[in-house]
Structure 1
Amino acid sequence: PQILYQTSADGPDGDFPAVRAVPADRHNLTPPLTPTVGRAALVSEVIDAVRPGSVVTLIGPGGVGKTRIAVEVSISIAPAWDDGVWRVD
């Protein structure tokens, strides 16, 4: 760990090295333990449908993999979104 201090003084700003940090995930999703099989086309289609300010709904009976697809899509697109992707139950 590093301890950071902020100082305030008159004069030019100093050249300080960048803070060393581990990049944080841009999501709060649990990656699947097993690979998603046979859903690449559907995942790609949903990724193409997601736009800022839009709502995409996955519908179907229980157990068909809606949550699995949503997690796969969300993890895939999270790096491209400034604030990441966050799951809320």
Structure 2
Amino acid sequence: MMRLDKFLKISRLIKRRTLAKEVADQGRILVNGNPAKASSKISAGDELAIRFGQKLLTVKVNDLRETVKKDEASMLYTIIKEESIQQN
């Protein structure tokens, strides 16, 4: 188990933990289809949907680690889909 904001920082999906907290607190992250807060606990196997502006990124959590080298960060997750969000 790991905090959502910490995982986003370590996996480098979001570069800074403060930014990860902001994005989560704005309701732009879903964990297994449910809105998540920065303090939400995530586990390996969970599915995260993260909204970055006009883009929706869905990833599966493969592994949780306290520290990881920069070039190994992408091994912590698998991108399921990446899609553009159309604004009406």
TM-score past 0.5 threshold? no
* Larger RCO: 1 or 2 (CA < 8 Å, sep 6+): 1
TM superposition score normalised by structure 1 = 0.21
More strand by share: 2
Normalising to structure 2: TM-score of the pair? 0.21
